[in-house]
A and B are shown apart, each in its own frame.
Chain A
Amino acid sequence: MNIVVCVKQVPEVADADLEINKEGTRIEREDLVMDINEWDNYAVEEAVRIKEVYGGTVTVVTLGDEDSEDVLRRALAMGADEAILIDEEGFEASDATGIARGLFRAIHDLSFDLLLTGVQSADDGWGQVGLILAEFLNIPYASMAVGVEIEGGRAIVLRELESNTQEKVELSLPAVLTIQTGINDPRYVSIMGIRKVRNIEIKETRAQELGLSEDEIGAKGSSVASRNLSLPPIGEGAEILTGSLGEICEKAAQIIRDKGGVE
């Protein structure tokens, strides 16, 4: 069971104070901590678990700058065998199709049974790349996987639907799956673990080597003409309780008593 996993490095924004550049085109990333996209981390773990049961190899691929090597090393430490880094030069301002074109060219000659990636990325959140890849590869897919079993050369996949409902689908292989968070419990990666894989060679490639022309990727290849970013207004709607912490808690307690009939 050979598996390819597409991963992405994203800034951690959950607790961050985001700022937008003055052109309004992107957020300032300098002070942000970069990490593997959460959904992709679950995808790497799922790939390694499948490999541990059925054998084969796991190849991780990313498209990004040289710092993106970190997410590849992390995946290698988790148990991936090979890694490919596609240099982001020329891909800046690509839409999901442009990114998928790069990934497709880098992996379409590999022999694999499953291609996994996260449902979406924590930054742009298009949720498109995995399914575009399936279409380019002309193979079946299922998105939002929360369970995967391999049976008789087929994948039985549980897809997450709304309202605590799932659907079970069957896919012939090779197939593409996009992985939802919570599907597994991703293993911890120690600094020691990353040190152990430091000698594994990361294969590097770039747009020209992949035969991609300027108008297929980047801003030229994107369907987006322009974008303007803004911060949503603070606390639109909510009455923010003010005062000392004691006063705030007293106000909150009064609201709970009034609205909830709590003594």
Chain B
Amino acid sequence: MKEILVLAEHRKGEIREISFEMLALANRLAEENNLSAVALFLGHEASDLSEKLKGACDRIVVMDDPELANYNADPYLLAMELVLKERKPLLTFIGHTATGMDLAPALAARLSLPLATDCLEVNLVDGRIEVIRQIYGGKINAHLTIKPFDQYVFSIRPGSASAEAKQGKSGTAETVPVPSWLDLKGRRFLEYLEAELEDIDISAADILVSIGRGIAKPENIPVAQEFADAIGATLSCSRPVADKEWLPKSRQVGTSGKTVNPKIYIALGISGAFQHQAGMKNANTIIAVNKDPRAPIFNIAHYGIVDDMFKVLPLLKEKFTKK
């Protein structure tokens, strides 16, 4: 039976959620197309971790070596090259994460396989592979049909399938031999660094007023801060604001920053790239203010105001200051 191979992602002794999301997708496709869902676990002395994949796949392929203890593209590529050549999985799924974004393009290039990155959906339609991904910062959906190949590689956007560790499976584990490490190219993993102590913990706030690219210049930040003060909220931001150092990195909501679950999240001039959405989509109530009616933020907000934040804020603030 042909296989769908899913690279299980783990860091610092934890299986990352994307692994179960991809396995859920793989299980669905496997069932529909008579394929089997196989998890690939690359690590070192971590059988307690690989064990956790059991309920979510038909087989677990384990490669165990000190070189694979922490993710490093260099040995990972050799390991995956060996597995993909031996097993010839029809589909290989890798997370569109800091790990998968680092790994998938080089892997596909090395093996001359087609790769579509950041896929929201992968479907097999009459033997053809169709994927959906987004372009232009999430403003356009692209439906792609991939040319026929013997094997395909896809990187899957986090959050596009729901993760379930127990999917009614009982995968058996099989340990496979490691490749020769003679062809390593000279990258070494040194250490993980955690963020330093912060001025404020935005994930503890009940209400967040969050600013994005639409704030336009640092001189405008007081407008948002005054509104936040008026409703007792904490000020946070999306990536462009932190990149420009208009607010400290500790205030950044999103994949590379913080995940927040406040009672209310007010997104001001934030377009809503998926990396941002991943950090705030579980807020109880999301209110988005954006000039662009097609901003992706409106797809996950509960309430939307299509207008200029600088017109909205003074009026809205007044509702809370005047007694």
B-contacting residues of A (Cβ < 8 Å)? 13-15, 17-18, 20, 27, 96-97, 100, 119, 122-132, 134-136, 138-144, 156, 158-172, 175, 181-182, 185, 222-232, 234-241, 245-246, 248-250, 252-253, 255-256, 259-263
Which applies to chain A's interface (DSSP): helix, strand, loop or mixed? Answer: mixed
Chain B residues within an 8 Å CB radius of A231: 139-141, 294
Chain B residues within an 8 Å CB radius of A260: 206-207, 231, 263-264, 285
Chain B residues within an 8 Å CB radius of A259: 263-264, 284-285
Q: Is the CB of A167 within 8 A of B300?
A: no
**Separation in Å of the B57 CB from the closest CB of chain A?**
23
The answer to whether residues A165 and B239 also contact, given A127-B118, A237-B299 and a CB cut-off of 8 A, is no
4 extra interchain contacts, Cβ-Cβ under 8 A, other than A124-B135, A259-B285, A260-B231?
A125-B134, A127-B105, A245-B312, A260-B206
Q: Is the CB of A164 within 8 A of B258?
A: yes
CA distance A232 to B120 in the complex (A): 13
A-contacting residues of B (Cβ < 8 Å)? 11, 70, 72-74, 97-98, 101-102, 104-106, 108-110, 114-118, 133-147, 149, 185-195, 206-207, 213, 231-232, 239-240, 242-245, 249-250, 255-259, 263-264, 266, 271, 284-285, 287-288, 291-294, 296, 298-307, 311-312, 315-316, 318-320
The answer to whether residues A252 and B305 also contact, given A141-B187, A144-B102, A245-B312 and a CB cut-off of 8 A, is yes
CA distance A225 to B239 in the complex (A): 34
Chain A residues within an 8 Å CB radius of B98: 144, 159-162
Q: Name the residue of chain A whose CB is nearest to the CB of B72.
A: A169
Q: Is the CB of B190 within 8 A of A248?
A: no
The answer to whether residues A159 and B102 also contact, given A167-B189, A224-B147 and a CB cut-off of 8 A, is yes
Chain A residues within an 8 Å CB radius of B240: 181
Q: Is the CB of B315 within 8 A of A249?
A: yes
**Separation in Å of the A253 CB from the closest CB of chain B?**
4
The answer to whether residues A144 and B101 also contact, given A227-B143, A235-B298 and a CB cut-off of 8 A, is yes
The answer to whether residues A131 and B263 also contact, given A166-B193, A226-B145, A245-B311 and a CB cut-off of 8 A, is no
